[in-house]
Amino acid sequence: MILLDNVTKYYPGDKAPALDQINLYIEPKEFVFLVGKSGAGKSTFIKMLTREEKPTSGKVMVGGIDYTYLRRRHIPHLRRRLGVVFQDFKLLPNRTVYENVAFALEIVGVSNAEIRRTVPKVLELVGLADKGDRFPSELSGGQRQRVAIARSMARQPKILIADEPTGNLDPETSWGIVRLLEEINNFGTTILVTTHDENIVNQLKRRVVTLKDGKIVGDQKSYGHYDLDATGRNRIIKHTIAASMPVESTVEDIRRATNSSRRIITKHNDVTMEPLGGPASMHKDMDVTSPNIKGPVVSSSVGQNTKKASQEAKPVPKRRIVR
Ligand code: ADP
């Protein structure tokens, strides 16, 4: 779902890399905290995924799209398929809650009828069904963050990236947001959260990836805890993609994740990328377009193009990795 293969990033003029040979694989539906001190490389890591920055070397794949082959004109479409929420919410102040969410759909050409069906459902998902006609200035910080999450989720992304989502919130409100992210994760959305909130990280016991000086110095698959210097059991010496994969991963997952010669493949509306050329079974986790939210959000026509390939995919027998 998310793969960084030996990614290094130097900003112009910097002597030290902001990211230094990062190898990381995040499975579909995982919930991952990305932690590190200020300057550790968290923002740069996220910019690799949103394609705000390109790696100096190495390869980034998100939702099956190999960024190496991404054309400039595809980038806005890619970003629309990644939900991103920020510490400072980034809402439109002169639009109501309903309009903020609707706008995210309007700009990708969703019909008015679909917008009228979808917006109330995502507002219900985030617990703001009765706040549709309010302006952001009339809401609390926690409610604003819920609007930002609703806006990101309206397009039903497979991946939601939350960059310090609780950074401006008090502890109780922060927990409400984290619970909401967990709920969204339970619907099947992959979640990546950067945070400095030690309490939340330690209590959630999810996967925790720790960055230090641009390197991954810790990666705990579960029961992760906040240990920025990775001095304890969090510490890892050498990080490879295979090592970053959860133990439930199959041999096939690793083969798929590490195969660096393939090109991607997805067709959606006006976004067409290169066919992989492999069998359909290679593609089944690579659909960044299909709706993945069961439950409160309506399905849409998005993703139909890739559905057939998924249906044709032969199931790969699950095998545990012997380490
Ligand atoms: P974090 O988000 O963990 O605070 P960043 O990814 O922002 O870390 O920064 C990692 C390193 O890259 C830091 O040394 C920072 O100074 C440097 N850096 C970040 N953005 C830029 C930039 N646009 N130009 C030059 N150096 C940068």
Q: Which of 9, 10, 14, 196 to mutate to test the pocket of ligand 1 (most atoms within 8 A of CB)?
A: 14
CB within 8 Å of 226: residues ≥ 6 apart = 35, 198, 201, 202, 208
* Gap between the Cα atoms of 46 and 163, Å rounded: 8
For ligand 1, what atom is nearest to the CA of residue 13? 25
Does residue 234 belong to any structural domain of this protein? Answer: yes
Phi-psi region of 172 (alpha: psi -120 to 50; beta: other; left: phi over 0): alpha
Does residue 317 belong to any structural domain of this protein? Answer: no
Does residue 41 belong to any structural domain of this protein? Answer: yes
Range of the domain at 220: 2-312
The total number of structural domains in the chain stands at 1
Contact 141, 173 (CB under 8 A): yes
Does residue 254 belong to any structural domain of this protein? Answer: yes
pLDDT at 232: 63
* Gap between the Cα atoms of 153 and 50, Å rounded: 16
72-86, 134-148, 226-240, 265-279: range with lowest mean pLDDT? 265-279
What's the whole-number mean pLDDT along residues 20-44?
A: 97
Q: pTM for the whole thing?
A: 0.79
Does residue 27 belong to any structural domain of this protein? Answer: yes
Encode pLDDT of 229-265 as tens digits.
877 655 666 677 777 776 656 556 666 666 643 443 3
What's the whole-number mean pLDDT along residues 122-140?
A: 97
CB within 8 Å of 148: residues ≥ 6 apart = 85, 86, 89, 90, 91
Contact 26, 192 (CB under 8 A): yes
Q: Does residue 195 register a pLDDT over 80?
A: yes
Q: Which amino acid is at 208?
A: V
CA–centroid distance, residue 164 to ligand 1 (Å): 16
How far is CA 195 from its chain centroid?
A: 14
Does residue 323 belong to any structural domain of this protein? Answer: no
Tokens at 78, concatenated: 């890619």
Indicate the helix (H) or strand (E) that contains 50: helix 42-50
Contact 153, 180 (CB under 8 A): no
Encode pLDDT of 149-185 as tens digits.
999 999 999 999 999 999 999 999 999 999 999 999 9
Q: Does residue 80 register a pLDDT over 80?
A: no
Task: Considering only residues 147 and 249, tell me which one the structure prediction assigns the higher pLDDT.
Answer: 147
Does residue 264 belong to any structural domain of this protein? Answer: yes
How far is CA 273 from its chain centroid?
A: 20
pLDDT at 281: 29
pLDDT at 88: 92
What's the whole-number mean pLDDT along residues 132-157?
A: 96
CATH of the domain at 165: 3.40.50.300
Contact 82, 157 (CB under 8 A): yes
Contact 303, 290 (CB under 8 A): yes
* Gap between the Cα atoms of 188 and 294, Å rounded: 8
Query: Running DSSP on this structure, what letter comes out for residue 72?
Result: G
| Mean pLDDT over each residue of the chain, to the nearest integer | 80
How far is CA 71 from its chain centroid?
A: 20
* Gap between the Cα atoms of 218 and 235, Å rounded: 5
pLDDT at 10: 98
Contact 23, 5 (CB under 8 A): yes
CA–centroid distance, residue 39 to ligand 1 (Å): 6
Does residue 320 belong to any structural domain of this protein? Answer: no
Q: Does residue 310 register a pLDDT over 50?
A: no
**Which residues does ligand 1 sit against, CB inside 6 Å?**
11, 14, 18, 36, 38-44
Q: Does residue 321 register a pLDDT over 50?
A: no
Least Cα distance to 177 among 154, 156, 197 occurs for: 197
Q: Which of 22, 44, 163, 217 to mutate to test the pocket of ligand 1 (most atoms within 8 A of CB)?
A: 44
